[in-house]
Amino acid sequence: MFGITELCREFGITLRAIRFYEDKGLLQPRRINGSRVYSQRDRARLMLILRSKSLGASLAQIRHYLDLYDAPELNEVSSLRAAEDELLQTLTDLERQQADIGATLTELRHIHQQVQQRLGAST
């Protein structure tokens, strides 16, 4: 069990952020003596929320990922195949983004090197 302050410190986020995710129904802590108490499941969900957010996923996409993660019907073969197709598409999209970022970094390093050379030549 985790308190809200512990999760804020661990993930480097504000109380307001966690409450926002609660308001959106993405987290559902228990209340004990008026305090929010988060389970290991809530912690894992928060980690997935923050990772997805850092990759640019919308709240709707994040909710969908969480629903896939929690879906009891994922024991059915047809549901598993649908989830697999969706996950493979997401992986492909992220790998494409990663390649684009790599290419952009290479270009920026080259430009930076040229700027440094020009600065060295002008002094």
- On the question of pLDDT at 104 being above 90, the answer is yes
Per-residue pLDDT tens over the stretch 7-54? 999 999 999 999 999 999 999 999 988 888 999 989 988 998 998 888
Question: pTM of the entire structure?
Answer: 0.62
Q: What is the pLDDT of residue 67?
A: 79
Q: Around Cβ 47, how many Cβ atoms within 10 Å?
A: 13
Q: Mean per-residue pLDDT for 82-91?
A: 79
